Amino acid sequence: QQPVQSPQAVILREGEDAVINCSSSKALYSVHWYRQKHGEAPVFLMILLKGGEQKGHEKISASFNEKKQQSSLYLTASQLSYSGTYFCGLIQGGSEKLVFGKGTKLTVNP
């Protein structure tokens, strides 16, 4: 049931772009994205719902492919502050439980 995230880690230079993927083997109802900086609690970035509704931060973009049971998080023109570990969490049909992937560690260097 745990979603699979890829890549596991990525290193960028400031200003570069990155895509983080999250996939599931089961039908999805919604996908959540969170970012956790070292030693801190995870912070909400975005929710994508089946049917196309989204809510989240304006500077973050993501997609949700219901047919492929995948979501992707797009980080463009990365800033140093984007560094952290990104987690996707999935709500599968019939459940209220949010199950997180293992995370993608993003490092943005000057």
Partner 1 sequence: GAGVSQSPSNKVTEKGKDVELRCDPISGHTALYWYRQRLGQGLEFLIYFQGNSAPDKSGLPSDRFSAERTGESVSTLTIQRTQQEDSAVYLCASSLAGQGGLYEQYFGPGTRLTVT
DSSP for residue 31: E
CB of 102 to partner 1, least distance (A): 4
103 lies in the site for partner 1, by CB under 8 A: yes
Residue 2's closest CA among 101, 105, 95? 101
CA distance 18 to 73: 8
Is the separation of the CB atoms in 106 and 83 below 8 Å? yes
Contact call for residue 99 and partner 1 (CB under 8 A): yes
Residue of 71, 101, 106, 108 that binds partner 1 (CB under 8 A):
101
Binding region for partner 1 (CB under 8 A): 29-30, 32, 34, 40-44, 47, 49, 55, 87, 89, 91, 93, 95-103
